[in-house]
Structure 1
Amino acid sequence: MTDIFLALLPTFAVILVGAGLKRAGLPGDAFWALLDRLTYMVLFPALLVTSTARGSFPAASALPMAAALTGGILLMAGLLVLARRLMPGDGPAFSSIFQGSLRYNTYVAFAATGALAGREGMALAGLAVAAMVPLLNLLSVICVAACALPPDGEDAAPKPPLLRLVLTNPLIIACAIGIPLGVSGLGVPPVLGETLDILAAGSLPLALLAVGAGLNLKVGRGAGLGRAAGGMMIACTIKLFVMPLLALLILWPFGVDDTTRLVTVLFAACPTATSAYILARQLGGDAPLAAAIITASTLAALITMPLLLTLVLP
């Protein structure tokens, strides 16, 4: 476990550097908002295209991994809906628990995969994104929109169409470009490939800094980690423990190789995505609770991910 912890520590150290820079007021609030958008729209899609276009996806590994990740999401989504009446808070609070339990931070997952599984793992990571992103976006938008309270006044922001949110997602578009290039054996054309490599090289460090800047480390009633502890604990327990164990259970009968099992658990066990907060704010969910879940799961994942990965690595 110590070796795994040390391998993952730089990923979380960069996140904490981002949190420290934001707390110190550097380089300024406007910078972090623009960096987050640049990473999401340009840099990380470049990494997805290159990693999937240059990867190989043997069916014996790819299909079981996709089944374990998507199957776990669908099963847990159904259980959460059935248990809604047992959850603390109102409809918007439930939607944040729902998102916090299921959504994963792609940047953390990719950085951890690169540290532990190398190039082979990165190709599988791209396939994991292709399997999970459309499904999670669809389920999250439906849940938040269905649970949102009626908008206050005529100035409430209009909700964007569901189909447009899914089809225009930059990560989905990147996977739709990269995976066919990888499966066909064509790869990335010269010049374009080198250009994407340069953009991709900056994606993970900048993305992890942005993740840290987005954390809400305030503690106290009504703010940050001190808010709605019950919902936060439920979501973090499901996200950091139940989801990876569920993925392992679904994957077990397939007898896949160590790298596939490692990438599957890494993606299932990583903390909640910051996009959960953005969607909650956009569609009328409980944005403060979503922020608290994101922060708590990110801090806790430094311990829970190495612990769970000891079940996977020989």
Structure 2
Amino acid sequence: MSGVVQGFTVIFIVIAVGYALGRTGVLGPEAQQVLSRLVFFVLTPALLFNSLATTDLSVIFSPTLVIAGGSALLVGLIYFVLARTVLHREIPEATIGALSSSYVNSANLGIPIAIFVLDDASFVAPLLLFQIMIYSPLALTALDLTALRGGKGRITLRDTVVAPSTNPIVLGGVAGLILSVTGVTLPHAVLEPISMLGDASVPGALLAFGLSLTGVTVLRKGESPRRDVALASVLKMVVQPLLVFALAYFVFDERGHSLFAQVVIAALPTAQNVLVYASRYQRGVVLARDTALVTTVASIPAIALIALLLA
């Protein structure tokens, strides 16, 4: 539990700094939007490029990739279907909600938790790759095709093909993966500035999240889509860990520390990246913000319970 507390303490301190910056107004009224765009267009692509270009892919392609990736896709799909059929939400809001219900905070919280609690950061790597190379491109393509069209008519095959190739996050991940597969190593003078920019992605996203909390009341009646937040939060903190447990235990016959690690990773909260995406497309921003905060608070007792039952 000391590792859990340490990981969450780091997160809350940086978010608090962002909130203080927003309260004092030292960065100006557009700080959250500008910082979110910086994270989306520059910092996160640099992080993904550097991470994948320097990652040994043999560590990533493991049962964890199937368990974590398959469960995230299924939970996201469940939310999307319910949002469209029961809550009657438009595709962009349903897409942001699907991400909120299943996109794990695998970088800025997952890595510390993996180190302090699981003693092995490799448990996070497969999920990180899945979210970078599969989940994000799928969701961002859907948002590119629906949230940015502004009444341009029906979506064509060309739109579907072109959209991923114009998204900076997808491009950064693909470029890094190509270097990793081919074994090409860039000069240190080129990789170092990319690494520096990538290192700023996680604190940048957390600061943007803190800024977004300024002057707002979480779950405010009439502003927050409470039913959407409740659905996303329950799927993220209850359904996803249970689904991962079922897949790992009954399908892949995992036991002991490996099973414990899989379920702990699944119980991590919604990533702040989802708020960055929502801010970029200006759809589902309150949903992403409130779900991230609710699941971050809920994940502390959730991981404690998992440790009690499985550790």
TM category (shorter chain) comes to 0.7 to 0.9
CA apart distance, 1:64 = 1.7
Q: CA separation of 1:260/1:114 partners in 2, compared to 1, >3 Å: closer, same or farther?
A: farther
Identity over aligned residues, as a percent?
Answer: 22
Paired AA for residue 128 in structure 1: L
Report 1:8-157 matches (<5 A): 8-58=8-58, 62-80=61-79, 83=82, 87=86, 89-92=87-90, 97-104=97-104, 108-117=105-114, 125=124, 127-133=126-132, 134-139=134-139, 142=142, 156=150
Match of 2:232 among 227, 230, 235: 235
Distance 1:123 1:38 in 2: 28
Paired AA for residue 20 in structure 1: A
Paired AA for residue 11 in structure 1: I
**2:204 matched to 1:203?**
no
Partner residue, 1:270: 269
Residues matched between the structures, number: 295
Asked if the contact 1:45/1:170 (under 8 Å) is kept, the reply is: yes
Q: Write the deviation string for residues 193-219 of structure 1: whole angstroms up to 9, x where unpaired.
A: 222222233232222111222247415
Distance 1:308 1:81 in 2: 27
Q: CA separation of 1:38/1:311 partners in 2, compared to 1, >3 Å: closer, same or farther?
A: farther
Q: CA separation of 1:205/1:121 partners in 2, compared to 1, >3 Å: closer, same or farther?
A: farther
Q: Which moved more, 1:237-246 or 1:109-118?
A: 109-118
Paired AA for residue 74 in structure 2: L
Q: CA separation of 1:123/1:29 partners in 2, compared to 1, >3 Å: closer, same or farther?
A: farther
Distance 2:280 2:56 in 1: 33
Q: CA separation of 1:260/1:173 partners in 2, compared to 1, >3 Å: closer, same or farther?
A: farther
CA apart distance, 1:14 = 0.8
Q: CA separation of 1:90/1:31 partners in 2, compared to 1, >3 Å: closer, same or farther?
A: same
Distance 1:256 1:190 in 2: 42
Distance 1:194 1:83 in 2: 44
**2:3 matched to 1:6?**
no
Distance 2:45 2:307 in 1: 27
Distance 2:54 2:95 in 1: 37
Partner residue, 1:247: 244
Q: Write the deviation string for residues 89-119 of structure 1: whole angstroms up to 9, x where unpaired.
A: 4323755543432334xxx42122332446x
CA apart distance, 1:71 = 1.1
Paired AA for residue 103 in structure 2: R
Q: CA separation of 1:186/1:277 partners in 2, compared to 1, >3 Å: closer, same or farther?
A: closer
Distance 2:266 2:186 in 1: 25
Asked if the contact 1:103/1:276 (under 8 Å) is kept, the reply is: no
Distance 2:199 2:95 in 1: 35
Asked if the contact 2:80/2:97 (under 8 Å) is kept, the reply is: no
Q: CA separation of 1:204/1:121 partners in 2, compared to 1, >3 Å: closer, same or farther?
A: farther
Describe the SS at the equivalent of 1:191. helix
Q: Write the deviation string for residues 207-236 of structure 1: whole angstroms up to 9, x where unpaired.
A: 21112222474153213xxx3433321210
Distance 2:256 2:52 in 1: 19
Which segments of 5 or more consecutive residues in structure 1 lack a partner in the other structure?
149-154
Asked if the contact 2:270/2:292 (under 8 Å) is kept, the reply is: yes
Asked if the contact 1:96/1:144 (under 8 Å) is kept, the reply is: no
Asked if the contact 2:19/2:210 (under 8 Å) is kept, the reply is: yes
Paired AA for residue 246 in structure 2: L
Describe the SS at the equivalent of 1:111. coil
Q: CA RMSD in A?
A: 4.0
TM-score normalised by length of structure 2: 0.74
Match of 2:165 among 164, 167, 170: 167
Q: CA separation of 1:166/1:305 partners in 2, compared to 1, >3 Å: closer, same or farther?
A: farther
Match of 2:189 among 169, 191, 194: 191
Q: CA separation of 1:250/1:44 partners in 2, compared to 1, >3 Å: closer, same or farther?
A: same
